[in-house]
Structure 1
Amino acid sequence: MPSLQELERAAIEVLTILKSIKEFEDASIAVFGGLALWKYIPAGRTTEDVDFIISVREAPKAVKQKLLQLHASNFVEHAQYFYYKNASNQHIQIDIVPSWQSLYMPSTTVKLKDLPANTIPYISVSDLIVFKIYSCGMRAQPAKRRTDAADAECYHMLPLACPCHSVIGKNRRSRIAWRMWLSTAGKMKSGGENALVCRSDWQIHPSHSGVGA
């Protein structure tokens, strides 16, 4: 499994390559997902991939195709997985999410042409929380749902820009409803085994979350 430093180095190298492609220079981009969570909580769970959100309408297909067509490209694609091969010949999985598939575009995204060298534009802690809440329960795979629920349990460790009660207070739901929705204590019997579950019947929107778009 790659280390945090190896994933961050891969992220920087991929960002540098994307920045060099003229047709993407005005695209806004940020890193989210497991790598962002690992960055904010080093003692928390690890990850094996780098997740980018980018404002390219034809992403991920158009972005992947362009990267694969580069001279001496270090990118490879196997089935539905896309990898960046680093100098140590490690294959780092790269996930590219178009902004139109997201709840909203995080405020910390940076245009590629304006991105300083050796910089990773992580989404903010608040945006990370909103993204995780939004995706919780929408996963097709039970393992992914359990991971989302476990991540949600870690969020009390994150240094929010504003207290959690401010986020909750701007919502129509109570603290109890939030706890129930996150399923940090809820369990569902399935095949004789208990599993953490996330509810998907409550849609979160920026206007309700206390986090601006």
Structure 2
Amino acid sequence: MTDLTQLRREYLQGGLRRSDLTPEPMAFFERWMEQAIAAELMDPTAMCVATVDEHSQPWQRIVLLKQYDERGFVFFTNLESRKATHLAQNARVSLHFPWHMLERQVSVTGIAEPLSTTEVLKYFVSRPKDSQIAAWASRQSSRLTARQALETKFAEMKARFAKGEVPLPKFWGGYRVKPQTVEFWQGGEHRLHDRFLYTREDEQWHIERLAP
């Protein structure tokens, strides 16, 4: 086994102070997201989405954030997928943005609410046609006998929708995660990281500094 104990580095890119923060978290998240994009990070919108199954077993996967505003964080998925099945049973969800190159993390807890068909359709029609077809071809999270089966299904759907627009699948949709807590983490020298936690209470946001 490779010895990992000596792999370490100092976090020196900057600190985070209470005076840097905005009164509510989404405005500060927007600032950090814009900085992540400007820094040309690979996949700055990538976030880990954690759900819990009926046995209280957590599951995680990387999903791309597609929208955000004061209402919350939006992502899209197959409604027959593992994550959607979990959310139908337990809408509590956790999101995590790992912006390693900026020595930053953002962690979110909240409730996932299904998007309206209008919201889903508006995004679906903006996708490249092959991505729309892929949504029809893949029964997300189901077992496959071989990759060839997936490629064959994609070819079938591509032929089916060769002309005209690709309709929105009934089994494809999205969620808005309404945040209850949002934590901003900035790496610090000697592992003295800066952490600030926003907590929603009675529709008001309260801010606390946490020990690293």
Instruction: Report if TM-score (shorter chain) is over 0.5.
Output: no
TM-score range, shorter chain: under 0.3
Q: Which has the larger radius of gyration?
A: 2
Higher relative contact order (CA 8 A, sep 6+): 2
